[in-house]
């Protein structure tokens, strides 16, 4: 393409200097030929600029994010995810997809790894178009816009159901039964010291009950 352009420029210069008609006609024919060839040449390919993150393949493996903190305002539920160095990635490498009751976070090529987090069955509906994410120093902030400005007691429906089951296990009409269920739960989840303490309290309680039930000698 470049060589054809040079030939055309040279022919044009010769045309200006040609004084004999025959030479002029030959040069004019050559000029038309060169212009036609240039016109039929395919356009040059433009090499797109590629960012450093895009140039690097999505190597490594994907780490599931389990640790986070959350807070809320009247309008937003805010989820804070700590990721060292995330502020150095391009915005395209930190992607969040929202639905009315869920969101997915995917962070690509951060220190040779990918990171993902999925929240399904959010406690209440969110506004997809008004939800977003912000990249801060060593942190990604997910902003879920509430459809209704009301307080959330937890993040997901599953968390709510779990809390209700735990509450029902010791929230009964019989106070002694509720206390017994609570002690059982503490015993199951406690360490050795906690188990010894509960066992001691249980033995003392049974001994006291036995004494109270014994008939008085008259």
Q: How confident is the model at residue 173 (pLDDT cuts 50, 70, 90)?
A: low
Taken in order 103, 108, 110, 114, is the CA torsion positive or negative? positive
Query: How is residue 214 annotated by DSSP?
Result: S
- The C-alpha atoms of residue 206 and residue 156 are separated, in whole angstroms, by 42
Average pLDDT over residues 56-80: 86
Expressed in angstroms, the distance from the first to the final Cα of the chain is 125
pLDDT at 187: 72
Token pair 């879920």: residue: 144
- Cβ burial of 212 (10 Å; 0-12, 13-18, 19+) is exposed
pLDDT at 95: 95
Query: Is 182 a residue whose pLDDT tops 60?
Result: yes
Whole-model pTM: value is 0.52
- The C-alpha atoms of residue 54 and residue 18 are separated, in whole angstroms, by 56
Query: Is 176 a residue whose pLDDT tops 80?
Result: no
Token pair 């912000």: residue: 134
CB proximity list for 171: less than 8 A, separation 6 or greater = 178
pLDDT at 78: 96
Contact, 127 vs 147, CB < 8 A? yes
Query: Is 125 a residue whose pLDDT tops 80?
Result: yes
Q: How confident is the model at residue 200 (pLDDT cuts 50, 70, 90)?
A: confident
CB proximity list for 68: less than 8 A, separation 6 or greater = 79, 80, 81, 117
> pLDDT, tens digit, for every residue of 15-67?
677 677 777 677 777 778 778 777 777 765 544 444 444 445 455 689 999 99
**Cα dihedral 135→118→110→63 (10° resolution):** 150
**Cα dihedral 10→16→18→21 (10° resolution):** 120
pLDDT at 171: 56
Q: Look over the chain and give the mean of its residue pLDDT values, rounded to a whole number.
A: 80
């Amino acid at each position: 393409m470049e060589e054809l352009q040079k030939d055309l420029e040279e022919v044009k210069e010769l045309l200006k200097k040609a004084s004999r008609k025959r030479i002029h006609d030959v040069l004019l024919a050559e000029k038309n030929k060169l212009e036609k060839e240039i016109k039929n040449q395919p356009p040059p390919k433009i090499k797109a600029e590629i960012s450093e993150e895009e140039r690097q393949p999505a190597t490594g493996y994907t780490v599931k994010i389990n640790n986070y903190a959350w807070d809320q305002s009247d309008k937003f539920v805010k989820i804070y995810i700590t990721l060292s160095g995330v502020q150095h990635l391009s915005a395209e490498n930190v992607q969040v997809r929202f639905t009315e009751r869920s969101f997915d976070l995917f962070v690509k090529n951060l220190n040779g790894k990918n990171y993902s987090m999925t929240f399904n069955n959010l406690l209440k509906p969110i506004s997809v178009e008004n939800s977003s994410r912000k990249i801060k120093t060593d942190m990604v902030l997910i902003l879920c816009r509430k459809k209704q400005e009301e307080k959330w007691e937890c993040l997901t429906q599953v968390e709510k159901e779990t809390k209700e089951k735990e509450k029902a296990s010791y929230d009964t009409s019989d106070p002694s039964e509720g206390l017994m269920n609570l002690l059982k739960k503490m015993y199951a989840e406690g360490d050795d010291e906690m188990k010894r303490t509960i066992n001691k309290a249980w033995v003392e309680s049974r001994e006291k009950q036995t004494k109270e039930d014994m008939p008085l000698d008259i």
